[in-house]
Amino acid sequence: MWIPKLLPGLLATPAWAHAYDDTDILIAKRDNGVATGGSCGTQANNAVCAAGLCCSAAGVCGTGGAFCTAPACQISAGPACDGNQTPKGADTSKVPRPLIGSIPYGIDISHCTVNGKVAITFDDGPYLYTGALLDILKNNNVTATFFVVGNNGAKGMINDPTTGYPAILRRMVADGHQIGSHTWSHQDLSAVTAAQRKDQIVKNEVAIADVLGVFPTYLRPPYTRWNQDALDDLKTYGYHVLNYDIDTRDWQGDYTVAENIFQTILSQHSPASSSWISLEHDIYNTTVHVFAQYIIDQARKLGYQLVTVGECLADPPSNWYRNATTGQPAHPVAGGLANNSCFADNRNRQFAVGHCSRQQRERQWKDNDKDEYSSDNGRGCDSDILANSDKIG
């Protein structure tokens, strides 16, 4: 039975609208845009721009990054908004959604159930600094949870190989991190239509599945905003709704405050009787290059173990994702390989799927240490030394 822990101490503060570090650089790279002169959106009685145009936050029709970048572009009035784009990949909207495991659906989850744990969570990426963050986490032997957005902040789609983000997602999995959804373009799920909410959910899982062969069962709504309709829809689509009980407010840019929030909450409670889900953002340079190390050091100093959200909820890793075809529990696979492939999770020493020999397993660990992945069905292994007893899966 799910028994939520009552939150002691300082309450988390909702993180409403976030600005993205260096978004102006990315927007400039894709063209700052041209206004067509038409008015649109909430500023113009919900007028809709012509096909191929975007509606800026200021209510002006146009093209280019300054008009089309999510989440500011008004998706109801701008047909070409980034939030209205569709990623490549197989449609997942009709995939069965059995409710996996014992973690509840249809409510928000803001507390761990395993004492002594801190689950660091990073929202809004992958982004310019996520690769550096993965290096920091690896150097400290720490795992975290990444709630990823599919197409926000002018960064491009997360399954577009030219962005480098598919490799980042694969590395997250290989390093033992957990990936959750943060929707397609960071729209407020309580303020969109049912059809738009479905788009936000499904498009992101299409993009994730295109890279990993699976999509998550955990989702954090943007701005941590939802209503009952959103909760109902997220349950229908098989998502645990993740909240948090520490908001370090890194999104405000005052890291003295952020450090004080984190240190104060943890120091006022014993790891023997408390645990935490902490909210951060990998879209901020200082969060990645300074604050992440502070969190790691302070949590360990105060006796906490740093884990994924799934681990702090005692949810087995097999429940964190579902197969993009069957909807059943599944582990990610490297690069969307077929289901008879062999793929390793470095940290947990688990194989996602399929037919891995003992020799292949040994080789896989060596390859993963070099950030490489072995091929499927034992190719690359010495077939003359593979006994049938070595076959698994």
Which residues are known to be catalytic?
Answer: 123, 281
CA distance 330 to 319: 7
CA distance 72 to 91: 26
Tokens of 324: 């993009």
**What is the sign of the dihedral through the CA atoms of 69, 73, 75 and 77?**
negative
Backbone phi, psi, residue 296, to 5°:
-60, -50
> DSSP alpha helices (H): ranges in the chain?
23-30, 65-68, 130-139, 165-174, 194-212, 228-236, 255-267, 285-286, 292-301, 309-312, 358-369
Distance, C-alpha 106 to centroid of its chain: 19
CA distance 259 to 264: 8
157: left (phi over 0), alpha (psi -120 to 50) or beta: beta
| Nearest in space to 123 (alpha carbons), one of 9, 222, 57, 225 | 222
Q: Which residue has the tokens 């005692």?
A: 314
CA distance 239 to 222: 14
